[in-house]
Amino acid sequence: MPQVIVKGYKTLLAEAEAEIVTIAADDALALVGRDDTVLVDLRDPRELAREGRVPGAFHCPRGMLEFWIDPESPYAKPVFQEDKRFVFFCGGGWRSALAAKVAQEMGLRPVAHIAGGFAAWKKLGGPVETE
């Protein structure tokens, strides 16, 4: 029997976008280096190696997010316990929208995500470090 998907990615994204703060990439440019904000790069390590990274962004692979946020997890990262604003981004803005929703549901606040993700960042000429 074939699988029947009852809620597709478009619905999941629409639900997330209705509940989270989305910021434009040009507004996100002003957040680099701010002490009160953590830019969280959710991309896969291969994406970082291939495309570069935002200077000062904290890298958290999307698959580890929930485990790194939860202070009771053996994988918890102290950065997520700080009293800061967390701004998520990925390659194009889909993973980061879903991640921001999950982080917010877990109690992390304030959170937002960058519309268009790293692609929008690069298109605007945002700073990028390469290895």
pLDDT per residue, tens digit, the chain (131 aa), is 899 999 999 999 999 999 999 999 999 999 999 999 999 999 999 999 999 999 999 999 999 999 999 999 999 999 999 999 999 999 999 999 999 999 999 999 999 999 999 999 999 999 999 97
Closest CA to 126 of 38, 42, 59, 57: 57
State residue 83's pLDDT score. 97
What span, in angstroms and rounded, lies between the C-alpha atoms of 22 and 94? 11
Q: What are phi and psi of 111, to 5 degrees?
A: -130, 160
Helices 9-19 & 94-106 angle (0-180, nearest 10): 50
Domain count, the chain: 1
Closest CA to 89 of 123, 64, 121, 63: 121
The DSSP output letter for 57 is P
- Domain membership of residue 2 (yes or no) is no
The pTM of the full predicted model, rounded to 2 decimals, is 0.95
**CATH for 30:** 3.40.250.10
What span, in angstroms and rounded, lies between the C-alpha atoms of 58 and 48? 12
What span, in angstroms and rounded, lies between the C-alpha atoms of 19 and 33? 27
State residue 1's pLDDT score. 87
- Domain membership of residue 3 (yes or no) is no
Q: Whose structure tokens read 């478009």?
A: 10
- Domain membership of residue 128 (yes or no) is no
- The residue segments making up the domain with residue 106 are 13-123
- Domain membership of residue 96 (yes or no) is yes
- Domain membership of residue 40 (yes or no) is yes
